[in-house]
């Protein structure tokens, strides 16, 4: 059975060009970048070159703004806790949008337990944050606001430039989780007024186990991991040179190919949306146009996302669901609840994230499998029978 993988937001294969580029740093140039001898310096040079590629990728001021971490969760923790705690004398208030990833929301909640006031910024039914509300909840004590560039579950792209203007008027910092957006839409931290920005290597077809926090010059944060003082003292621990070098190359390739790849995926995404919405009682989640070019997300009444995922897998098609199974709790996705869906509606979601292996030929196969899956599950669903009666 041919495999159609449509869960690129969860994981991606490492690009073979990236693997070839970074491979020597596992077995040939395996030095520790902190060692002063030639083997160490060779590794250090490669890490610094990678830092430069990532700085270019997001149009940062210079390469010293790029702090490597062990992944996006770590970068988000560093941004949230590091900025709030370092700037505590300015104020003890923080803001997060209701659709942030848990790696932003949970550190925010921890700050709240430790005496910070946390205000949640609501979004509308398409997932766009409420700018007027943002303006009204910001105070001079708000040290940090976190709004993601684009949401991984519903694909909606946020108006980051407008958000940064509002946040800066009150004097706070803006953190942007750009894990889902990186490599799909161009990011310019200077032009968009971003103070802190998170990226993940694996979301760029780079090796897992690497992430980045961009820290704008002049923005002060403190470390959350203490140790040997690597990465300007902001992320201690011996560098994962293979993954860091791979991430830089992945960012370079993404930058070079993004425009072409996004234009290739856009009509495929739109065709998926058109075909799947033919199914009775199916709805698009997220914004119809302000959405990532590789992202199509749906909900179907009367059925559950986990059953959809498992049924689709039997057709050789891998998809994701924002509900219970993926979040390891019985609660539906907080993102789908935040856009105003009822619990039972939020349970029936299916997320397709397209990638370099996706082609237009996949659309009829996936649409047919989705239709058959939805009809089969509805035949078994007591909710659906009640609706029909
Ligand atoms: N932010 C977003 C938007 C994500 O989708 C994810 C998960 N890919 C993360 C942060 C955390 O990434 P990781 O689990 O790789 O640390």
What confidence tens digit (pLDDT) does each residue in 115-141 have? 999 999 999 999 999 999 999 999 999
Give the DSSP H/E element, type plus range, for residue 53: helix 38-57
Q: What is the CA radius of gyration of the chain?
A: 21
Cα torsion 271, 294, 297, 277 to 10°: value is 0
Q: Which two tokens stand for residue 269?
A: 């995404």
Q: In this predicted structure, what is the pLDDT of residue 323?
A: 53
Q: Which two tokens stand for residue 86?
A: 């370092």
Q: Please say if the pLDDT value at position 7 is more than 50.
A: yes
- What number is the average pLDDT over the span 170-193? 98
Q: In this predicted structure, what is the pLDDT of residue 168?
A: 98
Q: In this predicted structure, what is the pLDDT of residue 101?
A: 97
pLDDT band at 381 (very low <50, low <70, confident <90, very high): confident
Distance 233 CA to ligand 1 centre (A): 23
Residue in 72, 147, 154, 286 to alter for ligand 1 test, most ligand atoms within 8 A of Cβ: 72
Q: In this predicted structure, what is the pLDDT of residue 331?
A: 80
Residue in 101, 184, 334 to alter for ligand 1 test, most ligand atoms within 8 A of Cβ: 101
Q: Taking all residues of the chain, what is their mean pLDDT, rounded to a whole number? A: 95
CA 86/CA 113 separation, integer angstroms: 17
pLDDT band at 382 (very low <50, low <70, confident <90, very high): confident
Percent of the chain with pLDDT over 90: 94
Q: In this predicted structure, what is the pLDDT of residue 230?
A: 96
Q: Judging by DSSP bridges, how do beta strands 282-284 and 295-300 pair with one another? A: antiparallel
* List 225, 290, 325, 337, catalytic entry: 325
Per residue in 77-109, is it b (16+ CB within 10 Å) or e — as a string? bbbbbbbbbbbeebbbbbbbbbbbbebbbebbe
Q: What is the pLDDT of residues 289-348, one digit of tens each?
A: 999 999 999 999 999 999 999 999 999 999 999 754 445 566 889 999 999 999 999 999
Distance 72 CA to ligand 1 centre (A): 5
- What number is the average pLDDT over the span 217-241? 96
Q: Which two tokens stand for residue 247?
A: 């991430």
**Taking a C-beta distance cutoff of 8 angstroms, is the pair 76, 106 a contact?**
no
CA distances from 19 to 24, 152, 160, 255 (A): 9, 25, 33, 17
**240: CB partners within 8 A, 6+ apart:** 70, 209, 210
- Ligand 1: residue whose CA is nearest its atom 5: 152
Q: Using the atom order of ligand 1, give the atom closest to the CA of residue 208.
A: 15
Distance 377 CA to ligand 1 centre (A): 30
Higher pLDDT, 327 or 372: 372
What is the pTM (predicted TM-score) of this model?
Answer: 0.96
Q: Is 325 a catalytic residue?
A: yes
- Ligand 1: residue whose CA is nearest its atom 14: 73
CA 206/CA 45 separation, integer angstroms: 19
CA 40/CA 331 separation, integer angstroms: 48
Residues with CB under 6 A from ligand 1: 9, 71-73, 76, 101, 103, 148, 152, 177, 179-180, 200
Q: What is the pLDDT of residues 88-121, one digit of tens each?
A: 999 999 999 999 999 999 999 999 999 999 999 9
Q: What is the pLDDT of residues 145-159, one digit of tens each?
A: 999 999 999 999 999
Distance 211 CA to ligand 1 centre (A): 10
Distance 73 CA to ligand 1 centre (A): 6
- What number is the average pLDDT over the span 28-34? 94
Q: In this predicted structure, what is the pLDDT of residue 216?
A: 98
CA 275/CA 369 separation, integer angstroms: 11
Could you tell me the domains of the chain?
4-10+258-388 (3.90.1150.10), 16-253 (3.40.640.10)
CA distances from 295 to 97, 155, 260, 386 (A): 20, 6, 16, 32
Q: In this predicted structure, what is the pLDDT of residue 325?
A: 42
């Amino acid at each position: 059975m041919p495999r159609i993988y449509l869960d690129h937001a969860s994981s991606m294969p490492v690009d073979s060009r990236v693997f070839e580029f970074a491979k020597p740093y596992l077995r040939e140039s395996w030095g520790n970048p902190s060692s002063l001898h030639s083997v160490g310096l060779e590794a250090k040079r490669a890490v610094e070159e990678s830092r430069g590629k990532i700085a270019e990728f997001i149009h940062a001021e210079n390469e010293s703004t790029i702090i490597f971490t062990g992944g996006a969760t770590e970068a988000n923790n560093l941004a949230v806790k590091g900025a709030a705690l370092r700037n505590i004398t300015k104020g003890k208030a923080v803001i997060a949008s209701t659709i942030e990833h848990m790696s932003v929301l949970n550190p925010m909640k921890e700050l709240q337990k430790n005496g910070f006031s946390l205000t949640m910024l609501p979004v509308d039914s398409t997932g766009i944050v409420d700018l007027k509300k943002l303006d009204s909840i910001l105070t001079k004590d708000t040290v940090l606001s976190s709004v993601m560039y684009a949401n991984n579950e519903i694909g909606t792209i946020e108006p980051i430039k407008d958000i940064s203007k509002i946040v800066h008027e009150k004097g706070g910092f803006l953190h942007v989780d750009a894990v889902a957006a990186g490599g799909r839409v161009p990011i310019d931290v200077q032009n968009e007024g971003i103070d802190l920005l998170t990226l993940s290597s694996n979301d760029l077809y780079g090796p897992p186990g690497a992430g980045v926090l961009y820290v704008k010059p002049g923005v002060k944060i403190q470390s959350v991991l203490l140790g040997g003082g690597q990465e300007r003292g902001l992320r201690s621990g011996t560098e994962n040179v293979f993954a860091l070098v791979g991430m830089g190359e992945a960012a370079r390739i993404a930058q070079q190919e993004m425009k072409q790849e996004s234009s290739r995926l856009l009509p495929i995404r739109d065709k998926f949306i058109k075909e799947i919405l033919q199914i009775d009682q199916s709805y698009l989640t997220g914004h119809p146009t302000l959405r990532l070019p590789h992202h199509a997300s749906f909900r179907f009444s009367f059925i559950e996302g986990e059953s959809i995922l498992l049924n689709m897998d039997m057709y050789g098609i891998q998809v994701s669901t924002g509900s219970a199974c993926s979040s390891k709790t019985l609660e539906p996705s907080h993102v789908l609840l935040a856009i105003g869906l009822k619990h039972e509606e939020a349970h029936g979601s299916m997320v397709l994230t397209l990638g370099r292996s996706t082609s237009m030929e996949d659309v009829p196969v996936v649409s047919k499998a989705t239709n058959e899956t939805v009809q089969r599950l509805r035949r078994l669903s007591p909710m659906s029978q009640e609706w029909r009666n």
